[in-house]
Structure 1
Amino acid sequence: MGIPILSAVLNAATFVAFEGPDADAAVPWVWALEPIAVSLLALRVPVVWAVSAALGAALLPTASGLLVLGHVPEAVLVLTPWHLANVAFVVIFAGIRVRLRAFGESEEAARRGAEEHARAESEVRRLAALGLLVHDEVLTVLAVAATTGRDGGDAVSDALRVEARHGLGLLGGAPAGRTAVAGSSGQVAASLSASLRRIDPTIVLDVETLDASPPPPDVVDVLARAAAEAVRNSLRHAGEGVTRRVAVRVGGLSVGVVVRDDGCGFTDLEGRDGRLGVREGILARVRAMPGGTAELRSAPGAGTTVLLGWSA
Structure 2
Amino acid sequence: MRAFTVERYGDKAGVRAGEVPDPEVGAADVLVRIQAASINPLDRMIRAGEMKTILPYKVPFVLGNDLAGIVVEVGAAVTRFAVGDEVFARPDKDRIGTFAELIAVHQDDVALKPTTLTMEEAASLPLVALTSWQVLVERAHIQPGQKVLVHAGSGGLGTIAIQLAKQLGAHVATTTSTANVDLVKRLGADAVVDYKKQAFETVLHDYDVVLDSLGGETLLKSLDVLKPGGQVISVAGPPDAAFARELGANPVIRLAMSALSFRIRRAARRRGVTYSFLFMKASGDQLRELTPLIEAGRIRSVVDTVFPFESTREALEYAEAGRARAGKVVVRMR
Q: Under a length normalisation based on structure 2, what TM-score does the superposition of the two structures give?
A: 0.24
Higher strand share: 2
Q: Under a length normalisation based on structure 1, what TM-score does the superposition of the two structures give?
A: 0.25
Q: Which has the higher contact order (CA 8 A, sep 6+)?
A: 2
Higher helix share: 1
